[in-house]
Amino acid sequence: MTEYNHNPVTVEDKTAVVIGGTSGIGEAIALSFAESGADVVASSRDQKRVRDTADSIRERGAETVEITSDITDRDSLRSLRDETLSTFGSVDILVTSASAVSRSSLETITESEWADVFDVQLDGVYRAVQEFTREMNSGSIINISSISARLAAANLLAYSAAKGGTNSFVRAAAKELAPDIRINAIAPGFVITNQNRDQYAEGTEKRARIEERTLLGRVADREEIAGAALYLASDAASYTTGEIITVDGGFSDNVF
């Protein structure tokens, strides 16, 4: 028989930390890792959200610890890392999925709105990756970017610029972290979450325009973004690093 060594899409027996893992895309990723057999720490600022997601992780038979953290605060990231390490012994997978958006125009956006978006979306990624890789000997890091990094969307200036920075950070960090740690980003299209529920509600003109342009004709279920994260976190993606994987149902490529 032909020899063939297949790496399965699984995170069984790994330990994952998902920052921004208590809502929307991050929570879907945390639960999908839990269902695939990983221990998962889903962290964010709000204690109740952390507790609720921890309960959902346990319901799937996975181990967890409840740790709040703020990606804008380096000390809280160190505590998240150190408490996870003292409980599970290693961090094999790190996901950053914290959200901050400004919908102000170029004319009106203020210094503080701009800084708040960057603090979470770009500086936060730098802080988290720097702190966690001090203690990771190997593994996979996944940053949730956006198709906004390369598309022109009205009134998403700071957000788009920060996501563009995330993509560049991922490519540059991949060089420094190779060969033991892989780092990639996922660029989702439209997923209805707390970040955008008001803008893209069903029946609105904006939602209709998105669905019309999307080749698959609909917005994504958050589980469909988690599927890409599961692949990138698993050994099936052992030759993938420095990549930005678009998961947008064909929205970006549909020009006419």
Ligand X SMILES: NC(=O)c1ccc[n+]([C@@H]2O[C@H](COP(=O)([O-])OP(=O)(O)OC[C@H]3O[C@@H](n4cnc5c(N)ncnc54)[C@H](OP(=O)(O)O)[C@@H]3O)[C@@H](O)[C@H]2O)c1
Site residues (vs ligand X, CB under 6 A): 19-20, 22-26, 44-46, 49, 69-72, 97-100, 120, 144, 146, 188, 190-191, 193-196
- Which residue bears the tokens 């978006």? 117
Residue 212 Cα to chain centre, angstroms: 26
Q: Which of 44, 102 has the CB closer to ligand X? A: 44
Shortest distance (Å) from residue 225 CB to ligand X: 8
Contact present, 132 and 91 (Cβ < 8 Å): yes
User: What CA dihedral angle connects 140, 141, 146 and 149, to 10 degrees?
Assistant: -110
Q: Which of 49, 60 has the CB closer to ligand X? A: 49
Is 4 assigned a catalytic role?
A: no
Residues linked to residue 191 through DSSP beta bridges, in sequence order: 220
Q: How far apart are CA 90 and CA 128, in angstroms?
A: 16
Give the pairing of strands 93-96 and 139-144.
parallel
Q: Which of 10, 171 has the CB closer to ligand X? A: 171
Cis geometry, peptide bond prior to residue 179 (ω within 30 degrees of 0):
yes
Across 181-216, b (16+ Cβ under 10 Å) vs e yields: bbbbbbbbbbbbbebbeeebeeeeeebeebbebbee
Shortest distance (Å) from residue 239 CB to ligand X: 25
Q: How far apart are CA 28 and CA 30, in angstroms?
A: 5
Reported in sequence order, the residue ranges of 106-147 that DSSP labels E, i.e. its strands, are 139-144
Shortest distance (Å) from residue 172 CB to ligand X: 19
Report the residue number whose CB is nearest to ligand X.
24
Q: Which of 178, 215 has the CB closer to ligand X? A: 215
Shortest distance (Å) from residue 177 CB to ligand X: 20
Q: Lay out the sheet containing 15-19: strands in order across.
A: 39-43, 15-19, 93-96, 139-144, 181-188, 244-247
Shortest distance (Å) from residue 130 CB to ligand X: 15
* Catalytic-role residue among 4, 126, 159, 200: 159
Q: Which of 38, 120 has the CB closer to ligand X? A: 120
Residues forming the active site: 159
